[in-house]
Structure 1
């Protein structure tokens, strides 16, 4: 039973009506009519909170499955110019780069498996597949020993460069999953 005074209830009803209809009436002034087109901002609806939560949960699961291994291998093998697979390194055609390539390939395969069947991991999927290809090419060409031909050497250098910068790209791609990419 509502014990509020009738006059107070009337004022509250008018206030509620004003709050609800104010934004609708604001566009009914003497301004020029606008065409009924959908603005780009209105066309893109934000994901409902439960969808964002589900995506964040999925990213967290992938990060737990892959992220720790990425960080571990970054510490063990280095990245970029600090990697034994850096084309500027004197260790590109050694077993040190061969081990880094094999481990990076394993991490990348794990990333592909972790996002299999999940939506919103396009960057991670693309990056991981490229790393799997680079690690496979490095192994297939026998790059852990100096290649015999110039074409093989170029193939080894290209694969090694991808491997050297691959782990940070994997890590960043995992984080892009929070945005749905």
Structure 2
């Protein structure tokens, strides 16, 4: 998806930029993402001062996640705002400080796809859950506990803690009264 900056010059009202962007790379990079539908991009672009361009709008898609507890795949809609500012180089002295939150560009053509992908990645949940009460997988046999109990012992203890457990039983089993 290309934005032609020369189309924005002399248009204070700006212009709409709409389309679809494929972000298949997101699923390859993030293990919690199984698939992403093409992103519906609805943006408004305008020149806010000579050589400085602002692009705002909304990104909408559907994402197939892998639950971080049970690994089940599930689809959810994702909608996120998009805000990006570009500064055309070279710029008149004093108009742009490198610490400003703007992306420097040297061409009149800006490929928005990488910026759309970045905004989408930042909007993904850190640990997606198929549902808030997801019980996850059994640490013993790997069964999905959302589908029912697996038959493994609920009180499986790590053998490294057995001596501590024996000590605890000895303490809690004694009368331990003080006198």
Q: Whose strand proportion is higher, 1 or 2?
A: 2
Do they superpose with TM above 0.5?
Answer: no
With normalisation by structure 1, the TM-score equals 0.20
With normalisation by structure 2, the TM-score equals 0.20
Q: For CA contacts below 8 A with separation 6 or more, give which structure has more relative contact order.
A: 1
